[in-house]
């Protein structure tokens, strides 16, 4: 079983518009809401492939109930910690040409009591899983090294860990040496403290993560594809060319695909092809984390 950690999930409100004009009245052509947040997106994709998944994290208010009900419908085993605050809402504005504008709330404030309850749930769930996926932002009130602490606990229990985070969450988490990490270019640049001008500099920064003790590094480069590195090999996979509808969740799709390949023991080249095809299939549909399987197989 996979265990996904959802510290700051969201209700994603997807809004479609012909052209987004800042500072003017904008009328939507369509809108709808889905359970979202990076960890929830990973969970949804894993369930599409009939993978057994348990999910932990914080949920509160009407948005929390909406996400919990969505997970139940997917057959996800939920061990969520109920909180007094409200689960956040994220607004994704999809305009013609595949442009996406994301407006993200910071999330609720987590109390020490709520954090302690989550930690107890998390520790118990480690007995159920083989691999843990840590992804996304954190709500207010949690320490910036929370992912590092959870990674250490996973390794003590003999579990594999994938980390997909940004900023200081990523930097702190890397110190705990996750088995797999998936930064994008912007996140690598944050770690480097400067812009990375080309593939050689990207390779060099990814290599530094391996030197720190990370097991495998996959850099997602958007339309430029995926770069894989471990201590023995380096591979590059071009992105599939599709008509882009919605890019939200493409990175989460890559994470889910890589984690499935990891537990299946697939070689890196196959894992990269699957991840690239799955991300492209996700980009070609409106709802993030809802993969058109026939399209995925065609691309693969």
| CB-CB contact of 37 with 10 (8 Å) | yes
Residue 44 has phi, psi (to 5 degrees) of -60, -40
CA distances from 268 to 143, 234, 238, 272, 275 (A): 34, 9, 14, 6, 10
How many C-beta atoms surround the C-beta of residue 31 within 10 A? 14
- Tokens 């960890």: give the residue: 39
CA distance 294 to 164: 27
DSSP assignment of 132-152? EEEES---BTS-TTHHHHHHH
Is there a contact between 135 and 165 (Cβ–Cβ < 8 Å)?
yes
Task: State yes or no: is 252 an active-site residue.
Answer: yes
- Give strand pairing partners of 100: 94
Rounded CA gap, 48 and 203, in Å? 32
Please pick, among 12, 164, 179, 252, the residue that the annotation labels catalytic. 252
Nearest-angstrom CA–CA distance, 6 and 63: 14
**Catalytic residue numbers, as ranges:** 252
């Amino acid at each position: 079983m996979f265990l996904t950690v959802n510290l700051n999930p969201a209700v994603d409100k997807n809004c479609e518009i012909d052209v987004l004009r800042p500072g003017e009245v904008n009328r939507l052509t369509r809108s709808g809401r889905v359970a979202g947040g990076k960890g929830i997106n990973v969970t949804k994709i894993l369930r599409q492939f009939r993978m057994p998944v348990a999910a932990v994290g914080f949920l509160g208010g009407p948005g929390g109930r909406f996400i919990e009900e969505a997970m139940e419908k997917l057959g996800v085993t939920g061990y969520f910690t109920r909180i007094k605050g409200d689960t956040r809402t994220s607004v994704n504005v999809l305009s013609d040409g595949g442009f996406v504008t994301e407006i993200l709330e910071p999330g609720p404030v987590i109390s020490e009591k709520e954090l302690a309850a989550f930690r107890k749930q998390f520790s118990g769930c480690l007995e159920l899983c083989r691999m843990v996926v840590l992804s996304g932002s954190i709500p207010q009130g949690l320490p910036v090294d929370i992912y590092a602490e959870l990674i250490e606990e996973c390794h003590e229990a003999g579990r594999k860990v994938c980390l997909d985070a940004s900023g200081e969450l990523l930097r702190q988490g890397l110190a705990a040496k996750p088995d797999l990490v998936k930064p994008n270019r912007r996140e690598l640049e944050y770690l480097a403290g400067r812009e990375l001008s080309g593939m050689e500099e990207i390779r060099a920064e990814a290599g530094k993560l391996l030197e720190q003790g990370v097991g495998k590094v996959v850099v997602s480069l958007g339309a430029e594809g995926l770069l894989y590195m471990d201590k023995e090999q380096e591979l590059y996979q071009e992105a599939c060319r599709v008509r882009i509808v919605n890019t939200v969740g493409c990175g989460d799709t890559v994470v889910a695909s890589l984690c499935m390949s990891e537990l299946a023991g697939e070689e890196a080249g196959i894992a990269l092809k699957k991840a690239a095809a799955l991300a492209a299939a996700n980009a070609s549909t409106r709802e993030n984390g809802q993969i058109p399987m026939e399209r995925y197989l065609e691309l693969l």
